[in-house]
Chain A
Amino acid sequence: MLFDLIASFIKAVLVFAVVMSFVPFLIWLERKLVAWMQQRIGPNRTGPFGLLQPIADAVKLIIKENIFPSGVEKITYFLAPMMSMIPALAAFAVIPFGSPVRIMGRTVNLQVADVNIGILYILALSSLAVYGAVLAGWSSNNKYSLLGGLRTSAQMISYELPIGLSVVSIVLLTGSLSLNEVVRSQASHGIWNIFPQFLGFIILLISYNAELNRAPFDLGEAESEIVAGYHTEYSGFRFAMFYMGEYVNMVTVAALVTVLFLGGWQAPFGPEIPLLWFLIKIFAFILLYMWVRATFPRVRYDQLMALGWKILVPASLANLAMTAVIIVLGGPNAVRILSVGSIVLAVLVGLVLKAAVALRTKSAPGLAPPAGAGS
């Protein structure tokens, strides 16, 4: 009992420390990466390759004066940054980052808490993350903040649906809500979930990009439209918390996608080295998100909503239906049949999309008309 308690405590502190120390590095990485992609140099003054730049920024932000702009609602204004960071950190608690190891004759899960409904727990926490934006948007007494809060809340609620539906397909395949079980089932199937759930993987990637409020879906903080959205009025340490929340969220999401689709800590080839493969996979996803951010222009708000409700939700429903039917009818071969079916379905969805876009551009040359505006 005491051993477990101490082990949990140590694991929690370690995970917290590691995830938090990722943040400055990721900020540096993103700035550098985006700079290269845009043929700039990026931070290069502070430390080697500008590596100390995020530390300097953090120090600057922390020692800045904490300002309550006039007319803000103090309590909610104060709570908002925390509400955006805490769920992201807490969600990491159920993510397994390695196969169980033996320490002092006991088996220790490399996971802060092995909750047997871990998937549900993550979904619950990510549904709480929206409160940060809502509270900040409303309490700031600023119309841009309000607009940003409105946009973010609508966006996050809309994209929770395809996320939930895609995750349910994984649950069907696993037969359990435990993330540990998800990893183990991928080992026993002999194939990572990305193949039998290819469409689900694509949907989840896109939806989590929107859930993270990152470009090209960063409508809630679109600087060319609404200054900085819901955190317009924030500065100093509170602003830093929003910023950190975003990056912690990115780490959590990358870890979750790794566990759900890429076999968690398992090695694709070679020996299974603890943590190594897990970290590699996480960084692959993070780099993917940074690449997407540097590549795509920001979408319009109605396009965002149309993408979510008219494409991702129906596609994830189709994926769920296909998964359920094949699991029941396919018997022992279900996973193999799914691997083919999922890719076929993904191609089908892509073709339908392409046809729809072609049809729309044909009917109205130039920019496609806003979906919401009735003709």
Chain B
Amino acid sequence: MPSVLQLVFLFFAAVTVVGALAVVLVRNLFHAALWLAVTFLSVASLFIVLNADFVGLSQVIVYVGAISVLMLFAIMLTEDVVGARGLSLRSAWPAALPVAAGVCVVLVRWFARYAWLPPQPPKPGGTAGTIGLAFIQKYLFAFELASVILLAALIGAIYLAKEERS
């Protein structure tokens, strides 16, 4: 008999899978982006169920609140896409389905056999402090490097999008 927490986990796991499938299967691009937001949201819930509250809420802020909205924004701005209803990678189905199913079967088979550790009990002060300290101590370089990567992306985006000065 699974515990309540396990049931909650299973529910959000199911939502994640359904959402991810819908992202691929839905023909309307706007709906696909919405389903992506649903997927992100349920992944965030999974994190929270596993006591990774900081990661979960960061996931909501960054992925649901910013990235998905920017996608929706871009889709709404793109004139041709708003009207288009027939966007689907139909021709790729016969090749993609067996590969995806194969990978899925292999992974599920091996994951099911593995003796996973049970989720750790929640930290008394939450995970935010631990993560924060890890970012500025042990993983300082990686953390700063991520900001350099974002800076590079920012420079690139501005360069590509900027109007040409005459």
Contact = CB atoms under 8 A, between A and B. Distances in A.
A128 B165 contact: no
Interface residues of B, number: 24
A163 to B, nearest CB: 11
A370 to B, nearest CB: 13
Given A120-B128, A150-B77, A374 B165 contact: yes
A116 B54 CA distance: 10
Contacts of B36: none
A131 B73 contact: no
Tell me what chain A mostly uses at the interface: helix, strand, loop, or mixed. Answer: helix
A374 B163 CA distance: 8
Given A154-B73, A177-B128, A120 B66 contact: no
A116 B57 contact: no
A141 B158 CA distance: 32
A127 interface: yes
Contacts, number: 72
A153 interface: yes
Interface in A137-166: 137-138, 146, 149-150, 153-154, 156-157, 160, 164
Contact of B65 (A138, A150, A160): A160
A234 to B, nearest CB: 18
Contact of B76 (A115, A124, A130, A138): A138
Contacts of B76: 134, 137-138, 146, 149-150, 153
Interface in B41-67: 53-54, 57-58, 60-61, 64-66
A116 B122 CA distance: 12
Given A76-B34, A157-B70, A117 B126 contact: yes
A134 B128 CA distance: 31
A25 interface: no
B9 interface: no
B66 A157 contact: yes
A153 B53 contact: no
A127 B58 CA distance: 11
Interface residues of A, number: 28
Given A120-B54, A138-B30, A374-B165, A128 B72 contact: no
Nearest to B73: A153
B69 interface: yes
B165 A160 contact: no
Contact of B126 (A116, A123, A154, A374): A116
A16 interface: no
A119 to B, nearest CB: 9
A153 B70 CA distance: 8
A157 B72 CA distance: 12
Contacts of A160: 65-66
A128 B77 contact: no
A131 B37 CA distance: 10
A131 B76 CA distance: 13
Given A150-B73, A150-B77, A124 B57 contact: yes
A178 B165 CA distance: 48
B125 interface: yes
Contacts of B73: 134, 150, 153-154, 157
A146 B81 CA distance: 13
Nearest to A125: B60
Given A76-B34, A138-B76, A177-B126, A131 B69 contact: yes
A121 interface: yes
A86 B106 CA distance: 41
A38 B72 CA distance: 39
Given A121-B57, A127-B64, A146-B76, A116 B70 contact: no
B69 A130 contact: yes
Given A134-B73, A164-B61, 8 more contacts: A76-B34, A117-B57, A117-B128, A127-B64, A130-B69, A146-B82, A150-B73, A160-B66
Interface of B: 30, 34, 37, 53-54, 57-58, 60-61, 64-66, 69-70, 72-73, 76-77, 82, 125-126, 128, 163, 165
Q: Which 6 A-B pairs have the closest CB atoms?
A: A127-B65, A124-B60, A116-B126, A120-B57, A124-B57, A124-B61
